[in-house]
Structure 1
Amino acid sequence: MSARPTRYGAIAIALHWVIALCIIAMIPMGFWMTDAIREPGTQALAYRVFQFHKSVGFLILGLTVVRIVWRLAHPAPALPAAMKPWEAFAARVTHAAFYGLMLALPLTGWLYVSTGWAVSADRALAVPTSWFGLLSIPHLPWIGEASAALRRTVAFQAMGAHAMLAWTAVALIALHVGAALKHQFLERDGVLAHMVPGLPHGDAPAAPLPGAREKWLGRCAGFGLVLIIAQAAAIAVTPAPAPQLTAVATARPAPAATQTAPAPLPADSSQATAWAVDYGASRLGFSGTHSGDGFSGRFEKWEGDIRFDPANLPGSRATVLVQVGSARTGDATQEDALEGEEWLDFKGHPVARFEANAFKALGGDRYEAAGTLTLKNASVPVVLPFTFAERDGVATVKGSLKLDRRALDLGMQSDSGGDWVSMDIGVLVDLKAKRAATRS
């Protein structure tokens, strides 16, 4: 019979303390943000904490899997021979319960965010998940395709289980720390030295390896306790209140035709000057507020066919196509949300189109372009005020306008009241272009 090691290895110790610190930080963070997200003054910070909380949760899940694999290949140090049988049994059960919690806590959190339902506001709220802004974490596929009523029910149950598991973790941590301190300062048997480098080992001889019967009983008890925790957390939660679903009526024009690259406007004697856009020196941006904080972004892929001449406004025309999937804000979570079906719907409608066919002089270098913006299934009339200045054959155009996202059906399922994202979305045009040869 082989002897057990006197302490855990460096990898096991590192995994233990990293996971422990993450869990200890996550519990108060979770309780705080649950209340703070409801308050306008702390909503923006709570949103960022939520994203960090999710990232740490997935870190815990990954490290726990690594720790379990490592533990199966590396035996734990033996318990002191003087330890009472019930204490040894309780220690094994507690360790098994910790492993169950380290898996169940992040998994119930993952299930909750996958429902796309905010329990705090009791409404749909699709928020993507990214891991520390570095990579996207997919939501569980089956729940996202379920009905709103089912997603709501699962969200309440998952959040209830998540909260109960968090309180269970608090109790187990207190029990675990108390037992470790008891062994260190009262028993003086060196148990704490198994996991804390530098502490002296106790003089008590190590207990022999447990026999088959003891192993079987300990594993069954630990596995049974994990199942009890999971079942209690899943079903012993407060039932969700009766649904308060509000239907959002949104006018939807007929689907727009598939967009293609802007066709060159036909050249004739009345046509205005053609301009070649310098895309590297130009910017097509957008802005708004999210949870009380301002945000701004840009579209990285767009192209336009522009004909404009202050002396020939009747012959001026412009067509601009925007690849909506190229929207960038610098926040991976926001970018994932923008690509989703509820917002810009990159997969269903990859291109937005702005077509201006009426230009008006406002005095000086100020003008306005009236036209139509087509985004997803909506087409709305828009007027873009802008300034135009030309020097040495290079034109500088600057303009901005406000879009009402209600008219474009942007985020109307999750945020129909504008509580999270501003109803008005600003669009900024900063364009550099050179005179182009007339097309024939």
Structure 2
Amino acid sequence: MTTERSTTRYTGIAIALHWTIAFLVIAMAAMGWWMVDAITDPSTQQAAYRVFQLHKSIGFAILALTAIRIVWRLTHPAPPLPPGMKWWEVFLAKATHIGFYGLLIAIPLTGWAYVSAGWAVSTDRPLNVATSWFGLFQVPHLPGFEGDRNAAYGAMGAHSLLVWAGVVLVALHAGAALKHQFIDRDGVLGQMVPFLRRDNDEHSGHIGKTSASSYPSMFAAVAGVLAVVAVALTGWSWSQPGPLAIAATPVAETAITVTEVAAQPSATSDAATEATATAWVIDKAASSIVFSGTHAGSPFEGRFNEWTGDIRFDPDDLSGSKAVVIIDTASARTGDATQENSIGTGEWFNSARFPQARFETSTFAALGEDRYEAKGTLTIKDKPFPVTLPFRLIIDNGVANVEGTVELDRTELDLGMFSDPAAEWVSQMIDVKIVVRAAAN
């Protein structure tokens, strides 16, 4: 029984891989043709950006599944072709299969080379976007391509030609399968379509049912592939941006009780050397640094998860007041894995080389009632920039609540200037909102 099944039909795993890859390829073609034009239209740019990220993730999935399919094919020979086939039909059948394997490897690789180059062919401008596989982990760029315009055009040209070659092969493959099924009636299509599979009469041409003993491996393979797809799509869904749960308490006129106060790390204790005002201990659970702007025409919002602050402040001793805030740039989160991975790259925060941004005040001024402003220096990528931060302050029962917003020009800060110097993708102005709750030390 085992020998007969292995020589008259494909294995269940081969069938599952074949149809999974076929479905993904069809979906990829539809997405690719749509997003090429949609990415340049402001009304569809945001949707095209999402589809582009999904397109990349599916491309890597196809590459991995094809590698598995080739290994499986080498270790599990295909069923024999019908003996009545002409020599040229046999040649075309084998050449088509080899061509498919080559294309299913070459098309994702040329796409990978294109995104690695960081150059948008549609606009002929730099566009360096990180790749996140369904939001689960970052895929590195291929080395040697970054910023290479010629490589981008070459890779995209090859990618497009290979896709059209794939269309031709699909047409030939489908046409040959239909010829075998309805003209030759030799049951070849039944080798890959379970419900068309023949019974043990190898060349009767009759359509029969699959025996129950052939189901387990096929069902197990299908279940495994579906499980991987489900996990990947779940990760991609989680990676899409949505409203962030910002743990911040707005300034209020009523008394506030601090139930949990975080100790201040020594990294920012240098403020104490120049300040004589009261020291404050920040409640990190009720404090936040949030940034917002627009991306591809749609608003986005993010926050820094890791930061520390050393605050010495007294409304009656502004000259003796000082604050130093140090931000871990790699901790920026927007809810979109692709955005988060891009933020840490060289043209943005370059977190690997410059892991911290720093804001240090130089002077405080009272503006009346509960309003103040802090002038200081914001240092990003070791470059200092003057910043004025207006804020509101309410102190009640030894608890201080601060809320301030400052608008920063990312072109002045040299953020994203390789890919988007004209602010066509990411807004030029970025709002940064600071909310701090602290208790007198």
Q: Tell me the TM-score normalised to structure 1 length.
A: 0.82
Q: How does 1:280-359 map to 2 (within 5 A)?
A: 280-359=285-364
Name 2:124's counterpart in structure 1.
122
1:375 aligns with 2:377: no
CA deviation string 1:242-298 (max 9, x = no partner): xxxxxxxxxxxxxxxxxx922343479x82221001112211111111111111111
Which of 85, 88, 97 matches 1:86? 88
Which of 58, 61, 64 matches 1:62? 64
**CA separation in 1, counterparts of 2:382 and 2:416?**
14
**CA separation in 1, counterparts of 2:135 and 2:270?**
40
Which of 258, 262, 268 matches 1:262? 268
Name 1:50's counterpart in structure 2.
52
C-alpha displacement of 1:28 = 1.7
Counterpart residue identity of residue 417, structure 2:
M
Secondary structure at the aligned position of 1:5 is classed as: helix
Q: Identify if the C-alpha distance between structure 1 residues 82 and 276 changes in structure 2 by more than 3 Å, giving closer, same or farther.
A: same
**CA separation in 2, counterparts of 1:264 and 1:425?**
28
C-alpha displacement of 1:15 = 0.3
CA contact (8 A) 2:57 2:132 kept: yes
**Paired-residue identity, %:** 56
CA deviation string 1:392-423 (max 9, x = no partner): 22211111111001111111111110001111
CA contact (8 A) 2:128 2:419 kept: yes
Secondary structure at the aligned position of 1:412 is classed as: coil
C-alpha displacement of 1:200 = 3.9
**CA separation in 2, counterparts of 1:281 and 1:69?**
54
Secondary structure at the aligned position of 2:107 is classed as: helix
Gaps of at least 5 residues in structure 1 are: 207-259
CA deviation string 1:39-82 (max 9, x = no partner): 11111111111110000000000000000000000010111122
Q: Identify if the C-alpha distance between structure 1 residues 165 and 267 changes in structure 2 by more than 3 Å, giving closer, same or farther.
A: closer
CA deviation string 1:122-158 (max 9, x = no partner): 12111111100100101111223xxx4xx11111011
Secondary structure at the aligned position of 1:418 is classed as: coil
CA contact (8 A) 2:408 2:430 kept: yes
CA contact (8 A) 2:191 2:197 kept: no
CA contact (8 A) 1:128 1:333 kept: yes
**CA separation in 2, counterparts of 1:6 and 1:266?**
81
Counterpart residue identity of residue 123, structure 2:
A
Q: How does 1:196-215 map to 2 (within 5 A)?
A: 196-201=193-198, 205=203
Q: How does 1:8-407 map to 2 (within 5 A)?
A: 8-144=10-146, 148=147, 151-201=148-198, 205=203, 261-266=267-272, 271-407=276-412
Q: Identify if the C-alpha distance between structure 1 residues 111 and 327 changes in structure 2 by more than 3 Å, giving closer, same or farther.
A: same
CA contact (8 A) 2:272 2:312 kept: no
Counterpart residue identity of residue 36, structure 1:
A
CA deviation string 1:179-203 (max 9, x = no partner): 1112112222111110111114285
CA deviation string 1:374-406 (max 9, x = no partner): 111321111111111122222111111110011
How many positions carry a matched residue from both structures? Answer: 376
- The CA RMSD over aligned residues, in Å, is 1.8
C-alpha displacement of 1:312 = 2.4
Secondary structure at the aligned position of 1:271 is classed as: coil
Counterpart residue identity of residue 136, structure 1:
Q
CA contact (8 A) 1:7 1:77 kept: yes
**CA separation in 1, counterparts of 2:433 and 2:285?**
16
Name 1:228's counterpart in structure 2.
none
Counterpart residue identity of residue 350, structure 2:
D
**CA separation in 1, counterparts of 2:352 and 2:44?**
34
**CA separation in 2, counterparts of 1:204 and 1:181?**
18
Q: Tell me the TM-score normalised to structure 2 length.
A: 0.82
**CA separation in 2, counterparts of 1:38 and 1:131?**
24
CA contact (8 A) 1:292 1:420 kept: yes
**CA separation in 1, counterparts of 2:190 and 2:119?**
45
Secondary structure at the aligned position of 2:268 is classed as: coil
Counterpart residue identity of residue 197, structure 1:
P
CA contact (8 A) 1:403 1:426 kept: yes
Counterpart residue identity of residue 157, structure 1:
G
Runs of 4+ aligned structure 1 residues displaced above 6 Å come to none
C-alpha displacement of 1:342 = 0.6
CA deviation string 1:103-135 (max 9, x = no partner): 010000011111111111112111111100100
Which of 413, 431, 435 matches 1:426? 431
Name 1:248's counterpart in structure 2.
none
Secondary structure at the aligned position of 1:349 is classed as: coil
CA contact (8 A) 1:189 1:201 kept: no
Deviates more, 1:68-77 or 1:84-93: 84-93
Which of 411, 415, 425 matches 1:410? 415
Counterpart residue identity of residue 99, structure 2:
A
